[in-house]
Amino acid sequence: MKTIHTVAELRSALKSIRLADKKIAFVPTMGNLHDGHMSLIRRATKEADVVVSSIFVNPMQFSANEDLERYPKTLKEDQALLEANGCDFLFAPDALEMYPDGRRSQTQIEVSGISDILCGASRPGHFVGVATVVTKLFNMVHPDCAIFGTKDFQQLMVIENMTRDLSSSIRIIGEEIARADDGLALSSRNGYLSTEERRIAPVLYQTALWAVGALKQKKISVEDIREQAQQKLEAAGFIRDYFEIRSRANLLTPSEEESKLVILIAAYLGSARLIDNIQIDLDN
């Protein structure tokens, strides 16, 4: 695996690959990699001839009170994981390479509507930062496809909408959530959890599973399911952000007839903000 730090070097390295008519798959990350990321890399090796990943802790998607400064940076460990799982190129730029004129003068990409709800409401401006940096990375790598995890379900939908709206030919692939044996979705922010918090953390997924069962039984209202789920989380030690049941098509409040739904959860446990989701088809 070759590690590249500049856009010019990246474009030069990938030029011959395109001339050879080889397909490129791209997996953007913020580093501090784990097996959830590696599941994306392994999927990428099945989708294309060459796999490119990136590591860039994007300051545009962090607000002033978030964890940008303490976000873990583990480049050597990340390089070893990527190489062992079949990555061919790692693009690891610094902030000056990504934003040469500074963030304040950076042209921004906003996917209206969907960027302002759920995590977008809790983290104003977050999805503008995501859409902007992903657009820039797409323009630098020019992949045939890009793989994202479905744990960040709203983020995946933002990127899908952005790609469609900008008439991009890049194929967006969502890979299933990778989980620990106890059900906790793998995340770099799990590293913020204390031993006791890590013991509690699987309650997030367990509560989502309870909500799936309650929805299928249709004995209590959606509103009661949401509130009871929040109460279960708070009883376990979480601080609520949101627990929502939305349409899988557009993340809006579903009609009574809709059967394809998604449960979306965000909650704080100690200093870690954890998210998870489960997709449901009530017809099955």
pLDDT of residue 227 exceeding 80, the answer is yes
Averaged pLDDT for residues 254-277: 95
pTM: 0.96
According to DSSP, the residues that pair with 1 across neighbouring strands are: none
DSSP SS3 for 184: coil
Say what the pLDDT of residue 156 is: 98
Q: How many CB atoms lie within 10 A of CB 248?
A: 17
- For helices 35-47 and 75-84, what crossing angle results, to 10°? 40
- In the set 5, 37, 126, 142, the catalytic residue is 37
Delineate the domains of the chain, giving CATH numbers in brackets: 2-175 (3.40.50.620), 188-279 (3.30.1300.10)
Task: Give the pairing of strands 171-175 and 239-247.
Answer: unpaired
Taking only the tens place, the pLDDT of each residue in 16-61 is 999 999 999 999 999 999 999 999 999 999 999 999 999 999 999 9
218 torsion bin: left (phi>0), alpha (psi -120 to 50), beta (else): left
Taking only the tens place, the pLDDT of each residue in 92-109 is 999 999 999 988 889 999
pLDDT of residue 137 exceeding 90, the answer is yes
How far apart CA 282 and CA 284 sit, in angstroms, is: 5
* Residue 126: active-site member: no
pLDDT of residue 85 exceeding 80, the answer is yes
